[in-house]
Chains A and B, each alone.
Chain A
Amino acid sequence: EVQLVESGGGLIQSGGSLRLSCGASGFTISNNYMSWVRQAPGKGLEWVSVIYSDSDTHYADSVKGRFTISRDKSKNTVYLQMNSLRAEDTAMYYCARVHRNSDGYTMFAFDIWGQGTMVTVSS
């Protein structure tokens, strides 16, 4: 079964660091683009970051310079290292796979989602 499972969330003080993990099963993360998306309580979804199959990475302006996305092929896991956390980073963090069509072309849409892990930053 194709599945994503996030972990690593919790309560952290402002200025602190946290690393989120996203374990994949049923497919190989290094063959796909993988993203993190977050949702603050009562708010909409916000794209955070992506790591391409060639290891290129991109970030939303709101987290650039503070967050780092990475992966471990041997563990089939994607990570989000979050430093210098702020109250506004409080959110549910979802891991998502970026869809590729049958020809292998990236469709820049998210097709598989994890259930999310909650990060709460206290000020």
Chain B
Amino acid sequence: QTVVTQEPSFSVSPGGTVTLTCGLSSGSVSTAYYPSWYQQTPGQAPRTLIYSTNTRSSGVPDRFSGSILGNKAALTITGAQADDESDYYCVLYMGSGISLFGGGTKLTVL
């Protein structure tokens, strides 16, 4: 059974840059998986950041960018701010109507 993998946790200094990744337990992630990224703070619904690999959702600052790095999808946050401290999830479209979430990355800004 295919699993979407993400780093369980990551930390970044205020003003720093961090890259979170989204991989597959078997195989490589490509644009054909339509990778998307979501930010979620405790008690809140997710917020859409990136869809179709690298397109920012409406209202998302350009500090957030998406890409394919090697065999994974990636979310890069530049100039990290305190309110970027959240859980980040990626989603991959697996085909045949099925989407899979990664386990999420807890980002700490300190």
- Docked-complex contact B100 and A45, CB < 8 angstroms: no
Which chain B residues border A44 with CB–CB below 8 Å?
Answer: 87, 89, 101-104
Docked pose: A60 CA to B96 CA in angstroms: 11
Q: Is the CB of B36 within 8 A of A108?
A: yes
* Those of A83-123 within 8 Å (CB) of chain B: 94, 99, 101, 107-111, 113-116
- Is B86's beta carbon under 8 Å from chain A? no
B binding-site residues for A, Cβ under 8 Å: 34, 36, 38, 40, 45-48, 51-52, 55, 57, 87, 89, 91, 93, 96-104
A22 smallest CB distance to B (angstroms): 12
Q: Is the CB of B52 within 8 A of A107?
A: yes
Give A residues with C-beta under 8 Å from B: 35, 37, 44-47, 50, 52, 56-58, 60, 94, 99, 101, 107-111, 113-116
Among B34, B57, B99, the residue within 8 A (CB) of A35 is B99
Within the assembled complex, what's the spacing in Å between the Cα atoms of A115 and B45?
A: 6
A25 CB to closest chain B CB, in angstroms? 16
A107, B51: Cβ atoms under 8 Å? yes
Contacts of A37 in B (CB 8 A): 46, 101
Partner of A108, one of B93, B103, B104: B93
Inter-chain CA distance A43–B47, complex, in Å, is 17
Known: A45-B38, A47-B91, A107-B52. Is A58-B97 also a contact (CB below 8 A)? yes
Q: Is the CB of B91 within 8 A of A109?
A: yes
Point out the residues of chain A lying under 8 angstroms from B91, CB to CB: 47, 108-110
Q: Cβ of B97 and Cβ of A109 under 8 Å apart?
A: no
Contact A109 B36 (CB under 8 A): yes
Q: Which residue of A35, A108, A110, A116 has the most chain B CB atoms within 10 A of its CB atom?
A: A108
Cross-chain pairs A/B with CB under 8 angstroms, 19 sampled: A35-B99, A37-B46, A44-B102, A44-B103, A44-B104, A45-B46, A46-B101, A47-B91, A50-B97, A52-B97, A99-B51, A107-B34, A107-B36, A108-B36, A109-B36, A109-B91, A110-B38, A110-B46, A110-B91
Chain A minimum-CB-distance residue to B105: A44
How close is A46's CB to chain B, nearest CB, in angstroms?
A: 6
